[in-house]
Amino acid sequence: MFELSWQAPYDWPWMWGFLQARAVAGIERFEAGRYTRSFEYHGHRGVITMASDESRQVLRVTLSEGLLPVADSCLARISRLLDLNCAPQAINDTLGTLASARPGLRLPGSMDAFEQGVRAILGQLVSVSMAAKLTGKVAIAFGEPLPDFPGFYLFPRPEQLINADPQQLKALGMPLRRAESLIYLASAALSGELPITAPDDIEQGMKTLQSFPGIGRWTANYFALRGWQASDVFLPDDYLIKQRFPGMTPTQIRRYAERWHPWRSYALLHIWYTEGWAP
């Protein structure tokens, strides 16, 4: 077992709830206070189990035998997924009263940027639960089962989705154009056009994403938030954000949000998840 430390405050019920609402059948499970998911890194595969120990301020992590040779890489991905390296006091000082309702809010990242890209595309114009169900169908149809872990599959790799039949993807319950977007994303991941780690210029990176078929501004921004865990992204034309800023244009909202630089991603989460917040 491994242990990863984190700084308080940390709102674990919120984080686990966020991830559980988006859990993909065949990839992730929540049971008895533990989060378990399949994972593959450079040919090493297995399952990871995580549980938070709030009294000691550590995350307990168990890796199955197949992942032990790449333990350091797995732990780094877990830290990114759960934002364990966050320094909450510095962020909360910048956000001020905005952070007072949920001072332990963290920015959920991802274990794999390509996986997060697939999830972001499949989440377009559908509910969170429908997106998780559809992603599960794709995972089971194109991912490989883990023989030693019944019911678990590996999330499809780009080389598995690049050769997918668009009609087969469509049959799982998505528009044909969305199926074609997934295949293009797989091609971009293999060619390097899709950065797997955050580029130096996040804004330019998001513009590049918007040149991909089927990826608009909202999806590119959401991918930057979670796939790259970019800390300074704001979505002024998001539906809920526009509701929170009545009477203001996206340009005015963007200008207002500049007060939270360089932590606008955290500000965005606080606004999303604080009922009744108003500027």
11 is catalytic: no
Nearest by Cα to 157 from 191, 185, 186: 186
Give the HSE-up count for residue 193: Cα atoms under 13 Å, Cβ half-sphere.
14
Could you tell me where the DSSP H helices lie in the chain?
12-21, 71-82, 88-95, 113-122, 128-142, 158-161, 166-170, 176-191, 202-210, 217-226, 239-244, 250-257, 264-273
Q: Partners of 35 in the beta sheet?
A: 30, 50
The sheet that has 2-5: what strands, in order across it?
A: 2-5, 58-63, 44-53, 34-41, 28-31
DSSP state of 46: E
Known catalytic residues? 238
